[in-house]
Structure formats: C-alpha cells, structure tokens
Chain A
Amino acid sequence: MRALLVACCSMIFVVGCKTTEPTYYYGAYPDAVYNYFKADAASISQQIATLEEVIEQAREKNKAVPPGVHAHLGMLYFEAGNSGQGVTNFEQEKALFPESAPYLDFLINNMAGAKI
C-alpha cells in the first residue's frame, strides 16, 4: 500500500517536472529580427552573417531551422542586391514550410523591378 502511494506521488512529481526539448534551434534569430527592425543596430551584411551562422549552428546541432529564418535571410539578400541568394532562400523556406508558398510566390511574382 505504502509502496503504491510513494510510486503514485513520485509519478505526479516526475510528470509535473518534465520539460520538453525545443523543436527548433533559434540561436540569434530573434536578435537579428530585432536588429533589422531597429535599423541602426547592425549593417545588412552583419545581419546576413548572423543568420547564416544560425543555420550553420542548427545543422551542427542536428536541429530544425525555425519558420521564417530562410525567408528573413532571403529578404536581407534582396536588400543587399543579391537576388540570386534571395530567391534561393525563399525556395528553401517553401521547401521546409509549404505553408509559406502562396505568400513567397506572391512576393517573387510582384518583384519585377520593385522592392519586396
């Protein structure tokens, strides 16, 4: 009886304390987005380097890249005048997250000479 009670109590505690491992590796992604918004904190090329590093670190840790990282990086490449890398990263976002396809296709189709 007592053993059962102890088992029950410890189970309650164990279950209550279980933490879940994050699905994605974020690294400096939130900081990079914040810096982009603040505009004066870091140059575009610095922000590109930060995000390339996040993607590299995720690969090393064998974790998934969070939604938006490739799309955000693509936007930075477009702003830096490198539309090749811009499109490549948009395509990577679409491949990882098909939910983004209609929006990113809309942007690519509307980009004829204009900004995003």
Chain B
Amino acid sequence: MKQIKYVLMLVFISLTSGCVSLPPSHDYSTFRSADPRSIVVLPPINNSKEVVAPYSIMSQLVAPIAESGFYVFPVALVDQTFKNNGLTVANDIHDVSIQKLHDIFGADTALYLTIEEYGTSYVVISSNTVVSVSATLVDLRSGDVLWQGSASASSEETRGNSGGGLVGMLVEAAVNQIVETVTDKGFDIAAIANTRLLSADGYNGLLYGPRSTKYGQPVKSEKQK
C-alpha cells in the first residue's frame, strides 16, 4: 500500500511539473465560432538581414497549415499576384484592405507574419542558426483577429557537444558556420519554427480545420484549462 502511495505521488509530480512553465492558454472562442476553411499567407515583413528569409518561411509554412486541416493558398502564386499588381513590399501588402484581399482570393482568413530573426551568427565558441517568427490570423470576412502567436527555433537545440577542448570547439564553430550557410540551414530551422508556431498539434497553435480528422476537437492548450 505504501508503495502505491509513492507511485501515485511520483505520477502526480511528473504530471504537474510538466505543466508549470507553459504560458497561459489562448482564448479560441472567436476562432472557433468563425470556423474558417482557408488561409492566404501574405508575404512576411522581414526584420532580419537575410534576403532569403521570407522565401524560406513561406516555403515551409504550407505543411503545418495544411496538416492542421486548412486550405493554404499557393504561396508563390499569391506572391506573384501581388507583384504583378505593383505590390512588391511586404509592408504595403499588409496594408491592403481585408475587403480587397477577400475579393481577390476568396480566402476566409489571412496570415500576417513578421520575421524577427533569421540567420547564422558566429559567436567565438559556437555558431548558431536562429529563426523567430510571429503571426496574426485575421478573418477577412469580419476583420476579427482569430489567433496570434510567436515561436522560434535554433540549430543549437539539436547539436551535441563534441568535446576536444577549446581548440576543438573553435574549429567546430568555424566548420559549423560554413556548413550552416552553405546548406542553407535556416531553411531547415524555419520548418521547426513554423511547426511550433502553427501546428494544431502544438501548444497554442491553430485549431484543427475542416480538412483535419480531428476537426472540432479541442487543441492541447484548451484541454489544460
């Protein structure tokens, strides 16, 4: 009997400690009642120095949105449509009226993104590729903000310590930076950041859309209330 008490205590501790550091859950009531089917991703505002950042972020957004159960408009074709109408700057595109966006795309919602950080930095001991994005989902029919979020990911999360002392670490840092820029590490890290940001399977991500088998079910952060 005493053993069982210990086991119960352990289970209780592991369950509660897992929840301690999580931010407060989103209020999904507006999102749920708006019940959108489709999302048009607008070209992101880029606050990083990397020119390719918006391209990489847009390319890696399709999977997390589609897997959450929404129709996501073809990002390159959408970008091309803006360009052919004289809109080449993300800031200007973000200023287009929701009425106009709704007329052209027939989308239920638009996703407004800002890239806060994107790139590889070499800081003596280690080189690190970081991607940080924030996003707002706006209903193009009502103008309501349905959801907001931000997320980041870094290559340091996945790399192990190689050992070999200071010289070894410096060499590793230099090699890492070469590898990280040549193979466009940001593209891979962007996929992780975007999934964290948007996936309905994540914490405080999107809801499940009509094309998901989990459509209508509560998401993770709602269950914890």
Q: Which of A30, A72, A103, A114 contacts B106 (CB 8 A)?
A: A103
Question: Within 8 Å CB of A9, what residues of B?
Answer: 7, 11
State the Cβ distance, B93 to closest chain A Cβ, in Å. 15
Q: Which of B4, B59, B104, B107 contacts A34 (CB 8 A)?
A: B59
Q: Identify the closest chain A residue to B105 (Cβ).
A: A103
State the Cβ distance, B106 to closest chain A Cβ, in Å. 3
Question: Within 8 Å CB of B170, what residues of A?
Answer: none
In the assembled complex, A102 has its CB within 8 A of some CB on chain B: yes
In the assembled complex, A2 has its CB within 8 A of some CB on chain B: yes
In the assembled complex, A22 has its CB within 8 A of some CB on chain B: yes
Judged by DSSP, the binding face of B is: helix
How many angstroms from the CA of A67 to the CA of B107 in the assembled complex? 13
Question: Within 8 Å CB of A115, what residues of B?
Answer: 84
In the assembled complex, A5 has its CB within 8 A of some CB on chain B: yes
State the Cβ distance, A4 to closest chain B Cβ, in Å. 10
Q: Which of B4, B60, B84, B104 contacts A103 (CB 8 A)?
A: B104
Q: Which of B7, B67, B72, B213 contacts A68 (CB 8 A)?
A: B72
Can you list, as one digit per residue, whether each of A15-35 has a CB less than 8 Å from chain B (1) or not (0)? 000001011101001110110
Q: Which of A1, A12, A22, A34 contacts B187 (CB 8 A)?
A: A34
Are the CB atoms of B75 and A68 closer together than 8 Å? yes
Residues of chain A from 61 to 116 with CB closer than 8 A to chain B in the complex:
66-68, 71-72, 75, 93, 97, 99-103, 106-107, 114-116
Q: A residues touching B (Cβ–Cβ < 8 Å)?
A: 1-2, 5, 9, 12, 20, 22-24, 26, 29-31, 33-34, 36-38, 66-68, 71-72, 75, 93, 97, 99-103, 106-107, 114-116
Q: B residues touching A (Cβ–Cβ < 8 Å)?
A: 4, 7-8, 11, 37-38, 52, 54-56, 58-60, 62-63, 66-67, 69, 71-77, 79-81, 84, 104-107, 187, 191, 201, 211-213
Other A-B contacts than A1-B4, A37-B58, 15 sampled, CB-CB below 8 A, are: A23-B69, A24-B63, A24-B66, A33-B62, A33-B75, A37-B54, A37-B76, A67-B66, A68-B74, A99-B107, A100-B71, A103-B73, A103-B105, A107-B77, A114-B84
**8 A–B contact pairs at CB < 8 A?**
A5-B8, A30-B63, A34-B56, A37-B52, A67-B66, A68-B62, A72-B74, A107-B77
